[in-house]
Amino acid sequence: MGWPGPKQFHTMTTPRLALLLASFALLDLAAVASAQSGPLPYCTSGISSIGCLPQMTVNVQPNVTGTSGCVISTLGLEGQKLGLTFYGLNNSGFTPTPWAPASSSYLCVKAPTARIAIANTGGTAGQCNGSLAMNWDAYQLGNPTALGAPWSAGTKLFVQSWYRDPLAPRGTNLSDAVELTVRAITPVPCVSPLPGMRLIANGAFQMGSNATFTSPYFSFANEKPVRTVSLTQCFWMGQHEVTQAEYIAVMGSLPRAPAFAGANRPVENVSWIEARAYCATLTAQQAAQFNIPFGYEYRLPTEAEWEYVCRAGTTSEFHYGPALACADARQTYSYHPGGNCGVNSTTVVESYAPNPWGLFDLHGNVSEWCLDTFANYAPGPATNPFVSVGVDRIVRGGSWADTSSNCRSAARSWGNPFLIYNSIGFRVVLAPIIVVP
């Protein structure tokens, strides 16, 4: 039988901690920023014979289904001239070339190219108030065999406009150019389902426990006072702990040999630092595929997010109710009634019944790293709490090596972020960005 109380794990600290945390924060934010960057103007616009300097602008990046509302505009053209917009797909190794001898324009798009549309610039003849506006979505949907179709996420478009200018060399001029990147359909917070994850609505709950330090709960003072915690933004959480196969798929290999090998067993012998590295890498990979909503990242859950999801609307000591039997969770000993569960290892994820929100193994199997450092609860209500002062990181949920008391929804443990233990793993959330100092 395990000791009924919060575990305080310890291991050697290192001066590299602050540098590592800063590196993960920069990687997360850089990956998300890259995925969320807008259309990129490039090249030099030619000056027309009457001094017009046209500029291209695009409101949003296109997407694979032609539903982004993408409009490609060229402003500052001479009025009442014929113009068109064209694009290419590969500018690799291409250097912009003069449009004609003595021309101020440059061809900025490598062949082969395709025309999007041709139209009159409108405006007033002899003035620089003409424009071209091309609905890329309509073109994409109306031309299923066009250059580049069918469209896939990550495809680059290099776009430029051409217009009549009889007094210019070659009788025409070119605008500057813009680089676009076709995106996948980005998940919509609070709406889109994601494979292997559960969409969690924002809400409020009672965090902590008023149970006493007596059997069967052995509740400690650090679980008090019970307070109302509000989470104001929705998020997604992994429906099970990160498995060894999932870790390998993202990182290439396990951090070290697991104590209990198995593709669908949770990864363990993994430090908080390594769990954060996994989240940063997953963020970078998914951001490159445009699968991350604006302002979101893959990360460890905050302690409040974890307990909110574990409880799933319940107020009892376990999401199953007031008791946690051996048949309910992977644990070593249950006080409901007292008895050894005959467990000496992890097991395949999702081997036990889920909680009311469809998440598995929040009680037992492996304990789970959270993002926060440990601190005693402050009295009074809290909104989106996150603790970042200190070193020891929160561990939640209890494990195969724990008693039922340590598997309670409110039970708290903590350890140094470099700790490696065969009963600690993690799960991820796709949630609003939190910068970890």
- Which tens digit of pLDDT belongs to each residue from 285-337? 998 888 899 899 999 999 999 999 999 999 999 999 999 999 999 999 999 98
Per the rule left: phi > 0, alpha: psi between -120 and 50, beta: everything else, 51 is left
Flag whether pLDDT at 247 surpasses 90.
Answer: yes
Per the rule left: phi > 0, alpha: psi between -120 and 50, beta: everything else, 162 is beta
Tell me how far apart the alpha carbons of residues 25 and 33 are, in angstroms, rounded to a whole number: 12
Which tops the pLDDT comparison, 88 or 10?
A: 88
Tell me how far apart the alpha carbons of residues 423 and 263 are, in angstroms, rounded to a whole number: 16
> Domain boundaries in the chain?
17-35+187-432, 40-181
This prediction has a pTM of 0.77
pLDDT of residue 338: 82
The CA-atom distances, in angstroms, between 82 and each of 43, 168, 297 are 22, 14, 46
Q: Among all chains, which residue has been given the structure tokens 């998300």?
A: 32
pLDDT of residue 190: 94
Close Cβ partners of 413 (under 8 Å, ≥ 6 residues apart): 6, 7, 8, 9, 367, 394, 395, 396, 406
pLDDT of residue 273: 97
Close Cβ partners of 28 (under 8 Å, ≥ 6 residues apart): 279, 280, 283, 297, 298, 299, 433
93 pLDDT band (50/70/90 cuts)? Answer: very high
Flag whether pLDDT at 3 surpasses 50.
Answer: no
387 pLDDT band (50/70/90 cuts)? Answer: very high
pLDDT of residue 185: 87
Instruction: Please compute, for residue 136, the number of CA atoms within 13 A of its CA located in the half-sphere on the CB side.
Output: 31
Among 375, 408, 379, 407, smallest CA distance to 390 is for: 375
Mean per-residue pLDDT, 269-291: 94
pLDDT of residue 204: 98
36 pLDDT band (50/70/90 cuts)? Answer: low
23 pLDDT band (50/70/90 cuts)? Answer: low
pLDDT of residue 1: 37
9 pLDDT band (50/70/90 cuts)? Answer: low
Using a pLDDT cut of 70, give the percent of the chain over it.
Answer: 92
Angle at 335 (CA atoms; ends 312, 427), nearest 5 degrees: 40
Q: What is the CATH number of domain 17-35+187-432?
A: 3.90.1580.10
Cα 300 versus chain centre, distance: 11
Domains 17-35+187-432 and 40-181 share a fold: no
Among 85, 87, 82, smallest CA distance to 119 is for: 82
Q: What is the CATH number of domain 40-181?
A: 2.60.40.10
Flag whether pLDDT at 28 surpasses 80.
Answer: no
26 pLDDT band (50/70/90 cuts)? Answer: low
15 pLDDT band (50/70/90 cuts)? Answer: very low
Mean per-residue pLDDT, 81-99: 96
